[in-house]
Amino acid sequence: MNVKIRTEKLTVRFGNNEALKGVDLDVCKNSITGFMGPAGSGKSTLISLINRMIDFEDGVRIEGGLSIDGEDILGTSVDVVGLRRRVGTVFAVPLPLPRSIFENIAYGPRLKGINKKSDLDDIVEESLKKAVLWSEVCDRLHVSALKLSGGQQQRLCLARTLALRPEIILLDEPCSGLDPISTAKIEEALNELKKDYTIILVSNNTKQIARACDFAAFFYMGTLVEFDQTEKIFTNPRVKQTEDYIQGKFG
């Protein structure tokens, strides 16, 4: 098994409130790992550590280690901007920038210094195709992204992340506001993408985790309760809490 992301005794405190309590976790390369758990369980906090978006929060204290490819990413000397180009993020609500579809996707590549029109054209087409959106928007790339439907916007966000050519993709409850058809399309896209990327999917929807993920992690109150292959977790959980959560007894 090829470890991409590893956490060691990772603890995060917001003031007096412990959001993560000593989490040890290995995320495998070229797989989809699902994070599940009720609200406030710490799964989103872990995500925001991996892309260091946690820097925008006040009063955070972090202990323990977090590494990508064996390289620590929590230190102060880490090149955060470079890190975020390696770790793409799709947020819970679709957040297109107020500009055209094309420019949304070209935003990341342009920041990297890619400005040649033909290069950008290629990247945009490739990313949209991977996000299963190309056929729907190929004839109106210069229309404002705000004009797309919610499901299309979320796939646009996925495409925008792919255009960065990242190694890791974090999806923070990407389907929470979407209809079943759009959700299916996103899951379809993810299944194709795992060949090239390491994907982490955060979801409240246990069925989605069961459908889409190779591995699943269950968080509760900041603790990693159980982590294993999806099949095992869903058929034969070791901990009672996990079983209750999967069966919908709380959450």
Partner 1 sequence: MRVNPRFTDALVRHFLNLQAYFTVGLLVVIVFIIFIKGISNCSLSFMLTYPEDMGRHGGIFPAIMGTVFLAALSIVFATPLGLGTAIYLTEYTRESRLTTIIRFGVESLAGIPSIIYGLFGFIFFVIKLGMGWSLLSGALTMTIMILPTIIRTSEEAIKAVPRNLRIVSHSLGATKWETTVKVVLPSAAPGILTGIMLSIGRAVGETAAVIFTMGSSLRLPASLMDSGRTMAVHFYILAREGISMEKAYATALVLVVSILAINILAYYTMNRVIAKYS
Partner 2 sequence: MSSKTAVLKERIIKQVLTVFAFSSILFLFLIFAFILVEGLPLFYKAGVNSIIFGMKWAPTKGFFGIFPMIVSSFLVTFGALIIGAPLGLGCAVYLAEYAGKRQKMFLKPALELLAGIPSVVYGFLGVLYIVPFIRNFVGGSGFSLLATSIVLGVMILPTVISISYDALMSVPRSYREGALAMGSTKWQTTWRVVIPSGKSGILASCILGMGRAVGETMAVIMVAGNALKIPGSVLDPLRTLTSNIALELSYASGDHRMGLFSTGVVLLSIIMVLNYFANVVIRRKVIK
Q: Determine if 174 is a binding residue for partner 1 (CB under 8 A).
A: no
Q: Determine if 51 is a binding residue for partner 1 (CB under 8 A).
A: yes
Count, residues near partner 2 per rule CB under 8 A: 4
Cα 73 to Cα 223: distance, rounded to the nearest angstrom: 21
For 148, the token pair is 């797309």
Q: Determine if 160 is a binding residue for partner 1 (CB under 8 A).
A: yes
For 183, the token pair is 């959700």
- Tell me how crowded residue 157 is: count the other CB atoms within 10 A of its CB: 25
Q: Determine if 81 is a binding residue for partner 2 (CB under 8 A).
A: yes
The site partner of 35 among partner 1, partner 2, none (C-beta below 5 to 8 Å per kind) is none
Q: Determine if 82 is a binding residue for partner 1 (CB under 8 A).
A: yes
Cα 21 to Cα 53: distance, rounded to the nearest angstrom: 19
CA 150-155-161 angle, 5° bins? 130
DSSP 5-16: EEEEEEEEEETT
Find the binding residues for partner 1 in span 92-111 (CB under 8 A).
93, 95, 97-98, 107-108, 111
Q: Give contact residues for partner 1 (rule: CB under 8 A).
A: 51, 53, 56, 58, 81-82, 84-85, 88-89, 91, 93, 95, 97-98, 107-108, 111-112, 157, 160-161, 164
Q: Give contact residues for partner 2 (rule: CB under 8 A).
A: 79, 81-82, 113
